[in-house]
Structure 1
């Protein structure tokens, strides 16, 4: 049996936990900001660990945190040479941060909830509504599924095209070509701008296949998931929303 003091402490902890839960989940914007902050801090810590860095490298925590922030917010800025600084584990962590930043951590959380059979409530649907600037929480689960499907299909196609180019033209081993294809497909589709070569993509400036693949991934990813879902659902330019039309026209004009 718990003592009276023990029960009192548990009750206070329970009230504190309940208060923190409502502070985070009752405000979707606060939940999103908190989630991104925790993701960045965890990513920065993992990138800072020696097991994530190449032998002889000593990337500081500040640099690791900066790279994690850049990856999670898909800005592509870096204070260090990614290829020289991080080993396979560090590169995979970086790729996961890019994917989380591109999809949104709440999208991934909903997928995990769905896979484990958990019920997705109205609060989670409202958070997705806020993340993707939707008019209502209706159809959010279908949108999330379409986002995941689109991401997997586009990134896999990009990975295969890049991998075949590296395997055939540059004589990479097939396993290494696939890994490099996956990393750069994820980076390009999420508009992150990270590369595993010290000179970025300068070495491929005469490679039409590689450049067109990366450019296509950048443009498709740049449209945004709601626009892609709108186009895929309507399949008629006249029927898509004004926002989608403006995005497509802007992309065509800019390019």
Structure 2
């Protein structure tokens, strides 16, 4: 005799219907805030013509990476190639999507990692949630994003945030938990408050590990770009999707190459910041 099916899917559907019916105002507010943030970054990145913006970005990379001239010049060369391929506007849309998604993921993920590091009960609950988030196929994130936020860049941004957040939580938690007990005891002996201990001891010591989480968060956000294009997110991911749909090898390859260039630049920047943090230690 077959056992009756547990109506998990129907339960989730009912919850979604309830949220749409009762929290539509909240979803609309979130949509407007995220759209404002995304459009703001895109406007900044496209404020100047590409040939004026590229040197500025090179200088910013040079300063952020503690005067790594080689990386700055290679970044400029990569950005010039993207411009030459006539993908500049799409690349800036992708970069704005990655930056805004990463910022939100870190604003949520790092505090959750700090809470998990200082509370074993919270850590146990978050670990189960993170296991669920990291084993769930990335395409599944698109379903609730579309249901709640329709199509476009905002649902793509929501799906990217959820997909990219786990490393920030895990590595923040790990970095703080790996701090030597002696340092914590010394700070307690000097009468440091929990806030002082966090700001002056835990975060500085754990910063290289936290920055590794930031790096992984950025890379996952960028990897979600093509998938998010399936629900209307623009940028290079959409160009790849169109190339696949039209079997246009040239279009797909050029957009994919631009994504790789951006990924390498962002990865080298964060890797440089990690090395800087370790050197300071």
Relative CO higher for 1 or 2, CA cutoff 8 Å, sep ≥ 6? 2
Give TM-score scaled by structure 1 length: 0.30
Report which of the two has the higher share of helix. Answer: 2
Give TM-score scaled by structure 2 length: 0.28
